[in-house]
Chains A and B, each alone.
Chain A
Amino acid sequence: MVVIVQIAKADFDPVFAALADHTRRDIVRRAISAEEGVLELASHYPMSFAAVQKHVAVLERAGLITKQRIGRRKVVRTNPEALLVARRLLDQYEELWRARIDRMNELIAETAGAIDTVETKESKR
């Protein structure tokens, strides 16, 4: 995974680039429940508040999270729409690979049949 991320980095759009970082993915995960502000989020990571704030800003620019005011507090909330679109597309991709693997299986069965035929012919000689 790390290798792939490094290779393709230059081509990533802002959403994927934002998600290419472990801390930012973790923030996206935590912010699904939309309970914590930046300060609370920062307490989970062994880095400075400013560093976490930077990560939050990257995610915000990519549209993956928004800051929402609840009373006097500002909480960080994941925008689930971006993730939902990705999930649906991954579902379709799963079907695509399942169909391919089914075809691989058919091919293997066929090749096995061909080998069997050859062997049978040879054994008859």
Chain B
Amino acid sequence: MTVTAVRKAPQRLTLTVEAEFDASVERIWQLWADPRKLERWWGPPTYPATFTKHDLAPGGRIEYHMTGPAGDQPHGYWDVLEVEPPRRILLRGGIANADGTPNTDTPISTIRVGIEEIARGRTRMSIENVFPSTEAMEQVLAMGTEEGQSQAVSQIDAILAEETSSARSRGEPL
């Protein structure tokens, strides 16, 4: 299990998740900085994400959509408020219209990402998610994010356990 801490503050509608990875800071950074990597983990297998714009620079914009099993395509966007490669990102965004423009009727949430080395080849990532309201959380959750989730977790756990143990037994870097 790589998630090391979860903090929830319902009074502030804030969720903080910390995870540790056997990988360098640079490789964890690439999970966010490379859109092709980002879309591999953002949505569950049943709702894969496609990033059509990915300008990870202060003032930049990230646009994506997810594709559901019935062909439905909910859109989302992030405004990049702060970036400090390879350690820090602050994003603010929400639901978008089909043309990628923000849907101004829907609430906005923020994601703060922190990446730090805790030992050689071991990296901690923290994600702080702040929601403006319970409605905002419901809307984002409704974006195809629940379906297929438990299934993905068990599949990936199995794959990961296999790959990690085989790599370790070969004495190869992870």
Docked pose: A85 CA to B138 CA in angstroms: 10
Residues A99 and B149 in contact in the complex (CB < 8 Å), given A90-B13, A94-B15, A105-B21: yes
Complex A-B: 26 CB contacts under 8 Å = A1-B12, A8-B108, A8-B109, A13-B107, A13-B133, A15-B134, A16-B132, A19-B11, A19-B13, A89-B137, A93-B15, A94-B17, A95-B149, A97-B15, A97-B17, A97-B129, A99-B152, A99-B153, A101-B17, A102-B157, A104-B19, A104-B41, A108-B23, A112-B172, A112-B173, A113-B167
- B159 at the binding interface (Cβ < 8 Å): yes
CB contact list, B123-169 vs A, under 8 A = 125, 127-135, 137-138, 141, 145-146, 149, 152-153, 156-157, 159-160, 163-164, 167
Q: Which segment of B1-9, B53-61, B62-70 sits at the interface?
A: B1-9
Q: Let me know if A108 and B174 touch, CB within 8 A.
A: yes
Q: Let me know if A1 and B3 touch, CB within 8 A.
A: no
Residues A105 and B173 in contact in the complex (CB < 8 Å), given A86-B10, A99-B149: no
A-B contact count (CB 8 A): 157
Please name 14 further chain A to chain B contacts, defined as beta carbons within 8 Å, in addition to the given A7-B110, A16-B131, A19-B12, sorted by A numbering: A8-B108, A19-B13, A28-B11, A86-B10, A86-B11, A86-B13, A90-B8, A93-B15, A95-B146, A96-B146, A99-B149, A102-B153, A103-B41, A108-B28
Most chain-A Cβ atoms within 10 A of its Cβ — which of B13, B15, B22, B125?
B13
For A87, list chain B residues within 8 Å (CB). 8, 10
Interface residues of chain B: helix, strand, loop or mixed (majority): mixed
Hey, what's the 0/1 contact readout for B26-63 against A, CB within 8 Å counting as 1?
Answer: 01100100000100111010000000000000000000
For B127, list chain A residues within 8 Å (CB). 97
Docked pose: A106 CA to B174 CA in angstroms: 11
Q: Let me know if B108 and A11 touch, CB within 8 A.
A: yes
Docked pose: A95 CA to B112 CA in angstroms: 18
Q: Let me know if A111 and B141 touch, CB within 8 A.
A: no
> A11, A13, A16, A108: which contacts B21 (Cβ < 8 A)?
A108
CB contact list, B54-93 vs A, under 8 A = 81, 90, 92
- A39 at the binding interface (Cβ < 8 Å): no
7 interchain residue pairs of minimum CB distance: A103-B41, A86-B10, A89-B137, A13-B133, A109-B163, A90-B8, A87-B10
Hey, what's the 0/1 contact readout for A1-30 against B, CB within 8 Å counting as 1?
Answer: 101110110011101100110000100110
- B14 at the binding interface (Cβ < 8 Å): yes
Docked pose: A113 CA to B174 CA in angstroms: 8
- A40 at the binding interface (Cβ < 8 Å): no
Write the chain B residue with the least CB distance to A115: B173
For A57, list chain B residues within 8 Å (CB). none
- Nearest chain B CB to A117's CB is how many angstroms away? 10
- A83 at the binding interface (Cβ < 8 Å): yes
For B44, list chain A residues within 8 Å (CB). 99
